[in-house]
């Protein structure tokens, strides 16, 4: 009986053990199945993601291809537009070239017309100048005759090189002479009587007196303008001071009409040891004519000797006198600086 129970217990234990083992195996199998299912699901998910990635890549490639096609179309359109623009520009350039050629042809014709007009004007100007020269010669002869006709005191002084002044002997000028001017064949008389033009008295107005580089006078120099060049002028600004001290300076007088000039008086600066030591003279009767140098008997430019101090005046008479409207004094030498006070002497055929 006891053996039977023991056998039963053993059988139950074995059965229980088997059932446990079988249950464990079933759980293991289920777990494996679950794991397999999870792996399959993961594989499926991965496959799905891969498929989705491939689809997205394909879509992106398709979009890129479409964009590339669109860009190519845009580029082709841009090139076509550029080609059209270049053609239009070329057409415009051709039109402009045609217009320029036409303009150049017109300018050439206009230049030819202007050249012809210029030549005609030059011919007319030459004729006018020749007529003016003839008129000036006639006027000069008439003026000279007017003050020499009935005056017994007029004598020919062409052989004498000295003037009635305190000048040293005549020297050759330092400046090279310009082209020779035609000389009178006959001796002109000296002037019998002289009168002051009016520098000292003030009858010569400021607008009649000018100088070289006058437009550059400013500041301190504005007190030493050419109208200050009046004989015996006193005080600050009592003389004309040239802004530059070289052989290109001059002071000019406009007589307002053609007159006979017979001499010059010169002084230095009143308040400093500055004066002109020698000078030459130019003149002309018409503003459009060339300047003429006053000559000596040898045909060279006459050199007039000026001052040696600041206060004394030096007189130089013109033998023969000159017939002119415009007169220039050109400094050839100076002490310290070009400084000048002056008076012009005009010729009279009788004493008043």
Cα–Cα distance, 233 to 185 (Å, whole number): 41
Q: Is 189:154 a contact under the CB 8 Å cutoff?
A: yes
Ramachandran class of 314: left when φ > 0, alpha when ψ lies in -120 to 50, beta otherwise: beta
Cα–Cα distance, 287 to 217 (Å, whole number): 24
pLDDT (0 to 100) of residue 262: 96
Residue 325: which residues within 8 A CB-CB, separation 6 or more? 254, 255, 256, 257, 258, 259, 284, 285, 286, 287
Cα–Cα distance, 26 to 34 (Å, whole number): 12
Lookup: tokens for 144: 């000279």
Which domains, from first to last, does the chain contain? 150-168+188-348 (2.60.120.260)
Identify the residue with better confidence: 5 or 155: 5
Identify the residue with better confidence: 12 or 298: 298
Side-chain-facing half-sphere of 227: CA atoms under 13 Å: 11
pLDDT (0 to 100) of residue 159: 33
Lookup: tokens for 271: 């308040």
Cα–Cα distance, 85 to 106 (Å, whole number): 31
Cα–Cα distance, 219 to 272 (Å, whole number): 19
Flag whether pLDDT at 53 surpasses 50: yes
305, containing H or E segment: strand 304-305
Flag whether pLDDT at 339 surpasses 50: yes
Q: What single DSSP character describes residue 290? A: P
pLDDT (0 to 100) of residue 136: 56
Lookup: tokens for 322: 């000159």
Q: What is the pLDDT of residues 150-194, one digit of tens each?
A: 333 333 333 333 333 333 333 333 444 444 443 433 444 688 899
Asked which of 31-35, 178-182, 336-340 is least confident by mean pLDDT, the reply is 178-182
Would the CA dihedral through 200, 205, 210, 216 be positive or negative? positive
Flag whether pLDDT at 113 surpasses 90: no
């Amino acid at each position: 009986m006891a053996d039977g129970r023991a056998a039963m217990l053993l059988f139950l234990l074995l059965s229980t053990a088997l059932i446990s083992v079988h249950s464990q195996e079933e759980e293991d199998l289920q777990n494996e199945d679950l794991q397999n299912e999870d792996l399959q699901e993961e594989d499926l998910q991965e496959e799905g993601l891969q498929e989705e990635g491939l689809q997205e890549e394909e879509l992106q490639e398709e979009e890129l291809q479409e964009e590339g096609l669109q860009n190519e179309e845009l580029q082709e359109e841009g090139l076509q537009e550029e080609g059209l623009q270049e053609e239009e520009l070329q057409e415009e350039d051709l039109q402009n070239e045609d217009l320029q050629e036409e303009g150049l042809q017109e300018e050439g014709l206009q230049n030819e017309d202007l050249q012809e007009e210029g030549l005609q004007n030059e011919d007319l100007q030459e004729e006018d100048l020749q007529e003016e020269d003839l008129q000036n010669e006639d006027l000069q002869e008439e003026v000279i005759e007017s003050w020499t006709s009935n005056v017994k005191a007029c004598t020919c002084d062409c052989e004498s090189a000295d003037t009635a002044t305190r000048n040293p002997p005549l020297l050759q000028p330092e400046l090279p002479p310009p082209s020779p001017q035609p000389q009178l064949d006959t001796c002109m008389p000296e002037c019998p009587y002289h009168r002051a033009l009016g520098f000292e008295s003030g009858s010569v107005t400021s607008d009649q007196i000018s100088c070289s580089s006058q437009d550059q006078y400013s500041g301190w120099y504005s007190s030493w303008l050419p109208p200050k060049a009046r004989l015996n002028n006193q005080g600050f600004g009592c003389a004309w001071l040239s802004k530059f001290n070289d052989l290109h300076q001059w002071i000019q007088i406009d007589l307002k009409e053609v007159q006979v000039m017979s001499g010059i008086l010169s002084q230095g600066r009143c308040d400093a040891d500055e004066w002109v030591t020698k000078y030459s003279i130019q003149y002309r009767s018409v503003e459009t004519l060339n300047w003429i140098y006053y000559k000596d008997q040898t045909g060279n430019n006459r050199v007039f000797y000026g001052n040696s101090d600041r206060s004394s005046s030096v007189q130089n008479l013109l033998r023969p006198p000159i017939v002119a409207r415009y007169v220039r004094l050109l400094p050839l030498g100076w002490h310290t600086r070009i400084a000048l006070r002056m008076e012009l002497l005009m010729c009279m055929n009788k004493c008043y």
